[in-house]
Amino acid sequence: GQNIDQPTEMTATEGAIVQINCTYQTSGFNGLFWYQQHAGEAPTFLSYNVLDGLEEKGRFSSFLSRSKGYSYLLLKELQMKDSASYLCAVRSNDYKLSFGAGTTVTVRA
């Protein structure tokens, strides 16, 4: 089975940086995904890590340490539109995704 943990809520100020941590214990690992989900909408893909290290994509970066079962999503230069839920998901060898409960990020002016 899969066990994926991430904080429930985080609050930050516009222009600041926020780091969302995700720890996982899984039987089989074939990549870690981060998705963004605005209220009432479908999740949209942000990033994918399968090897250790940092992947940077504009204001968003994602880090993975497979030996520690740990990832984080870094959001820089926060904007009001970044207020959303951020989902950590681990893919197992059969292409199934297991999701954490999500972290709700609130950006304040």
Partner 1 sequence: DVKVTQSSRYLVKRTGEKVFLECVQDMDHENMFWYRQDPGLGLRLIYFSYDVKMKEKGDIPEGYSVSREKKERFSLILESASTNQTSMYLCASTSFLGADIEQYFGPGTRLTVT
Shortest CB 92 distance to partner 1, Å:
11
Residue 80 DSSP SS3: helix
Name the residue nearer to partner 1 (CB basis): 4 or 78. Answer: 4
Site for partner 1, rule CB under 8 A: 8, 31, 33, 41-45, 48, 87, 89, 95-102
70, 16 contact by CB (below 8 A)? no
Distance separating alpha carbons of residues 65 and 11, to the nearest angstrom: 25
Name the residue nearer to partner 1 (CB basis): 6 or 61. Answer: 6
Shortest CB 14 distance to partner 1, Å:
26
Dihedral of CA atoms 96, 57, 76, 84 in degrees, nearest 10, equals -40
Name the residue nearer to partner 1 (CB basis): 12 or 104. Answer: 104
Map tokens 């340490």 to a residue. 65
